A and B are shown apart, each in its own frame.
Chain A
Amino acid sequence: MKPKIAAQSGTFESSDVIFLIEPLPDNSGRKLEITSTVMQQFGASFNLIVEDILNQYDMTDIHLIAKDKGALEPTIKARLETAIKRSLDQQEGTLK
């Protein structure tokens, strides 16, 4: 699936991560920009989690920016799921 709109989720607080998603032109694939305060220790694992969630939603033609402040796996997954659903305009039970 391709993002319909630009969207974001998360915060810049410690133990959190902020994701920003933008649609790219057709056939652009995925462009990921990931920065983390714990990149050296957990960067590889962070990248795997992100790829896994993007695969689950079959996301393509997506520009994803992540700024991580040491979020745990359930937080990374929750924030990315929220950002993806918002970018697909599929979020439920919230005001926009």
Chain B
Amino acid sequence: MTTNFKKRRSMLYIPGNNPAMIQQGGIYGADSILLDLEDAVALNQKDAARTLVRNMMKVIDFYDTEVCVRVNHLSTPFGLADLEEIVPLQPSAIRYPKTESPEEVAELLKIIEKIEDRHGLPHNKMTLHAMIETAMGVQNVFNIASMFSRVDAITIGGQDLTADMNIIYTPDGAGIDFARKRIVMAAKASHIDVIDTVFPDVNDEEGLRRETEYAKKIGFTGKAVINPRQIDVIHEVFTPTEEEIRKAYRIVKEFRTNSAAGIGVFAIDGKMVDAPVVARAEYILRLANVTVG
């Protein structure tokens, strides 16, 4: 569990072998980009993508966009080589695909920490995002989310999960609804971020909005993006409204005034305000980039 706040309404996948998209990664407006060495890269281009991502990360300015890298699973011939190149560069996070058990995360962290030791790097800077994409991963998600201080987000991979469940993905998400909610609950219990899967139809803006609103309603903190065109809709849904921001501002301001006077619980407009309400209000203000003066 981590207490560092990172705005992750949108996470844009960028294929790791596409220099044009990588070099523009910081200007699409996503909160976070994910340089992908896994599914977006052909099996005979893994070396090319890894070298390209390494070089780009060294020199390209991504401005204030969070940069994460999705590596290949350690059970493939590519995973270890990915970690050897990427860990020394300390992206904000490593995203690990098809995470199925806490034992797997422990093994991954051991390898990461060995590489960090060789390079004189700390063990607490770069975090880990566990992707839950299999039925087994869904069953073990709470332990995956809660047992490691470096896991600061979990995500659901809808396409792989439906394949693993041997069902067809439908626009209403019925087949993965249980998984979505179980993953959200594991994240909430662990106080970490939880990112929803991609919406695959880039031409269906209404469908994207509907699915994003649903994801927000059940507790997701952000959504993965496969095309920059999807970013605005996702941000609109996940950004608090002006009314929400005003209310949150008032709650936090009153809380500080009352705290200074030694009062823990108070009322605004006849409604009780206590610690959980304040925490929610502070989260809304951080999302909206608003500070209480």
A94 CA to B16 CA, complexed, in Å: 14
Do B47 and A74 have beta carbons less than 8 Å apart?
A: no
Residues of A within 8 A of B56 (CB): 74-75, 78
Do A82 and B60 have beta carbons less than 8 Å apart?
A: no
B76-84, B202-210, B224-232: which lies at the interface: B76-84
B contacts with A, residue count (CB < 8 A): 24
Given contacts A14-B20, A16-B19, contact A95 B44 (CB under 8 A): yes
Most chain A CB inside 10 Å of its own CB: which residue of B20, B77, B80, B81? B20
**B residues 29-59 in Cβ contact with A at 8 Å:** 43-48, 50-52, 54-56, 58-59
Do B54 and A78 have beta carbons less than 8 Å apart?
A: yes
Question: Which residue in chain A gives the minimum CB-CB distance to B23?
Answer: A72
Contact with B along A64-87 (1 / 0, CB 8 A): 000000011111011101100110
Given contacts A93-B78, A95-B77, contact A72 B19 (CB under 8 A): yes
Do A75 and B47 have beta carbons less than 8 Å apart?
A: no
Residues of B within 8 A of A16 (CB): 19-20
Given contacts A74-B55, A94-B81, 5 further A-B contacts (CB under 8 A): A15-B20, A74-B58, A75-B23, A94-B43, A95-B44
In the assembled complex, how far is the CB of residue B80 from the closest CB belonging to chain A, in whole angstroms? 7
Question: Which residue in chain B gives the minimum CB-CB distance to A73?
Answer: B59
Assess whether A13 is interfacial by the CB under 8 Å rule.
yes
